[in-house]
Amino acid sequence: MIVWLNGTFGAGKTTTAKELTGLLPQARVFDPEEVGYMLRHVLNSVPHTNFQEWTPWRGLVVETAAQVLGYVGGVLVVPQTVLTAAYWTEIRTGLAAKGIPVHHFVLHTDRDTLTTRIRTDTAPESLSAVRWRLDHLTPYEEALPWLRREATVLDTTHVPPAAVARTIADAVRANTARPTAV
């Protein structure tokens, strides 16, 4: 099973993912960003603004998740922003073809809170990374209509990550989250 945590940068995906692994049996974090970092060494000369644009990234995310689950079982918690509906459909369809159930959650936060979180994040980042995150607030808002159709949306504005993780774990255990693939 996969618990996919979507939402824009600063919504709490990474922190929530870490909390969630302690609440679901045999859960581990799988970060598809690492697949993108690996591909940069090979595909960086291919024009792109985001490694999600590379077809191999989407296919390798599906294949890597399937291989890891086939090897160790359990639950993969995937904290990854996907704002392009076609990319999400490709990933969801690929996982479904492999028989992997996906529970898709969007961690939603209002723009003012996101802006504050991004600007005050204690992780060491360059100014360009902060700018990149801020530049993705509008694309996130534009993606919200399809995300609302595809996922369970949780407002994280005033909710700590540990509480968000408990809500997700409870929904997955009770199977009240919308599974998007089986």
Which 8-state DSSP code applies to residue 5? E
Of 87, 62, 65, 64, nearest to 76 (Cα)? 65
Taking Cα atoms as reference points, which of 118, 117, 107, 113 lies closest to residue 156?
A: 107
Which pTM was predicted?
Answer: 0.90
Whichever domain contains 152, its CATH number is 3.40.50.300
What's the pLDDT at 182?
31
**Over the chain (182 residues), what is each successive 10-residue block's mean pLDDT?**
93 94 96 93 88 95 98 97 96 97 96 86 68 85 95 94 97 71 34
Q: How many domains does the chain have?
A: 1
pLDDT of residue 126: 64
What is the structure's pLDDT at 145?
A: 96
Q: Which amino acid is at 35?
A: V
Domain span holding position 96: 2-181
pLDDT of residue 180: 47
